[in-house]
Structure 1
């Protein structure tokens, strides 16, 4: 082999090894920052065919409904404790901070944090879900005086409007 080709081959191999090493380090770093989503039943009973449970100390997201009568607030601090369920067992969520405006008992939430016990999550963020019928208060107030007209409804003469097709159809 010509010495010039040997040098090129060495540079190409070094480049491939360097890119592979950098890519493996990036993937390893990203795997530590993944927050997996669980329901309370999956946290306590396991997820998937092999029923894998998250380990204590793992960062996860838990979604479910806030159990009625389970919200307790510390009057001196912003610490809140509540239970979350889906259809099965309940788990406790501890949170320090201001909860979202839509948070209430019986409402769907997603809490992100660290599992400190098999059934207790120390949340760093709580997100309140809303249904598709939700409308911001400002928009609801602005729309109070507006009457919605259905384009397929009969007009004031009692006749349904005819749909006009472009010529050529």
Structure 2
């Protein structure tokens, strides 16, 4: 919401993939970084495919800024057609932090939908509930279309349209009559 006074979260769309008594964890899904995906793969000779094929498989793949915590660790949101050692999720949208998913994707054998984010957003016990109670965040049910097929620049507005309004009309201040 506009009342949050943090540049990091201004206009962000966050997919919450874990929320329990210990806190909440999510990934910002609408802030691409400037890091090329291929740089994160390391030595391409270990993948077992030609460099040309790998570059073709990952050519249009963005790396996202997932949040301010652990920005050196990668998290992959993906469709449920594949699972890996560290996969968690709700059955439709999964999260994996195993490098296996990156290698599969580079080989052209990864999940149908794939999004790599570096870092995450996190909340301590009760923190997110408190912020929700203060109307600091809006919530909307996640859709695969918004997360994976919608153009990045449209994701925030598309998610808000699921709530039935345009976020450009939200104000951070209230008036008095």
- Tell me if both proteins adopt one fold, taking TM over 0.5 as the criterion: no
Larger Cα-atom Rg: 1
Band the TM-score falls in, shorter-chain normalisation? under 0.3
TM-score, with structure 2 as normaliser: 0.21
Q: TM-score, normalised by structure 1?
A: 0.21
Q: Which has the higher helix share?
A: 2
